[in-house]
Amino acid sequence: MTQSISHKSLYESDFLLWTQDTIAKLKAKDFDHVDLENLLEEIEALGNSYRDELASRLETLIEHCLKRLYVDMPQEFNGWERTIREQRRRIKRRLQKTPSLRTLWDEFILEAFEFALETVRDDYSQYQFPDTWQYDLDIDTILNIDFWVNCQE
C-alpha cells in the first residue's frame, strides 16, 4: 500500500509564516535560503495591486463626478460629493506613497473615464452624458476641482 505524501512548501501551507521566515532570512542576509521565486512573485503582485488600486479609485471618482454633473437628483448630491472627496483623498495618499504611479496617470484616467461612462449610462439611461470628458484630465484638476460648482443647477 502506497501512501501519498504532500510536500507543500511553506509558501503554500502558511503564507504569514512564509513572510516572517523570508523577512528573517533577508535580515540575516541568508540569501541562499530565501524562496526567491515566490518572493519575486509577491513583490510583482504588490506593485500590480497599487496600479489596480489607482485604476479602481479613478474609475469610482470619475463615475461619481459624472453623476454629480449630469444626473438631476439633488437628494443624491451630498453622497456623491462625499465619495468624490474620499476617492480624491485616497488617490492623493497613494500617489504620495507611490509617486511613480503618476507616470501612468494619462493611461489610467482615459480608461477610467470610459469605464465610468459605461457604468453611469447603464445605471442612468434616462440622462445624457458626454462622449468625452469636458474638463482637463491632469492630476491637479481631477483631484481638486469641484466641476459642478460652475454648473447651472
pLDDT in tens, 107-146: 999 999 999 999 999 999 999 999 999 999 999 999 999 9
Q: Which tops the pLDDT comparison, 4 or 59?
A: 59
Specify if 94 maps to a domain: yes
Distance CA 108, CA 56 (A): 9
Specify if 151 maps to a domain: no
Specify if 1 maps to a domain: no
Its pTM surpasses 0.75 = yes
Print the domain residue range for 86: 12-146
Specify if 6 maps to a domain: no
Specify if 7 maps to a domain: no
Specify if 152 maps to a domain: no
Q: Which residue type, as a one-letter code, is found at position 72?
A: D
Specify if 4 maps to a domain: no
Is the pLDDT confidence value at 153 over 50? Answer: no
Specify if 3 maps to a domain: no
Looking at the structure of the chain, the number of domains it has is 1
Distance CA 58, CA 3 (A): 53
The string of pLDDT tens digits covering residues 34-88 is 999 999 999 999 889 999 999 999 999 999 999 999 999 999 999 999 999 999 9
Distance CA 54, CA 103 (A): 12
Q: Which residue type, as a one-letter code, is found at position 53?
A: E
pLDDT reported for residue 151: 60
Cell triple for 60? 469610482
